[in-house]
Structure 1
Amino acid sequence: MFDPATTALLRAVLEEVCEEISRSETGARTRVASRILEAAAKGDVAPESLKQVGREALHDAPTMCR
């Protein structure tokens, strides 16, 4: 469990990384959130580092082609 300040940071990073992703893109957002949480759980709570982790997760996320 994270303290309120860290939780707020994680949410802010998620929103910034996913600002151009629709809220209906739950798969991509979930992937980004998961990776950010994993990094934070390992002690990495530097905002820029978390943003990079999130960007990498977003870049690696599978996309639907129709």
Structure 2
Amino acid sequence: MFDTATTALLRAVLDEVCESVSHREIGARTHVASKILEAATKGETSPESLRQVGRAALSRAPTMWR
């Protein structure tokens, strides 16, 4: 499990990356969160790198319109 500071960073990055995504788009937000979490689990804790991972995931996130 992650420490409090890392958990706060992951949440902040998710919120920043998904700021334009409706909270109702659970699939997209979950996809982005899982990719950010996956990167962090592999040791990536740089805020900018996590943002890049999140943005890349968002561009490929499932939506109800696809």
- TM class, shorter-chain normalised? over 0.9
What TM-score, normalized by structure 2, do the two folds share?
0.95
Partner of 1:52: 52
Runs (4+) of structure 1 exceeding 4 A deviation are: none
Question: Where does the alignment leave 5 or more consecutive residues of structure 1 unmatched?
Answer: none
Which sections of structure 2, spanning at least 5 residues, go unmatched?
none
Q: Could you give the per-residue CA deviations for residues 3-57 of structure 1, whole angstroms, max 9, x where no partner exists?
A: 0000000000000000000000000000000000000000000000000000000
> How many residues are paired up?
66
Distance 1:43 1:18 in 2: 22
Q: How does 1:1-66 map to 2 (within 5 A)?
A: 1-65=1-65
Equivalent residues of 2:25, 2:63 under 8 A apart: no
Kindly indicate whether the alpha-carbon contact (under 8 Å) linking 2:14 and 2:33 is maintained by their aligned counterparts in 1.
yes
Sequence identity percentage: 73
TM-score w.r.t. the length of structure 1 is 0.95
Please provide the CA RMSD for this pair.
1.2
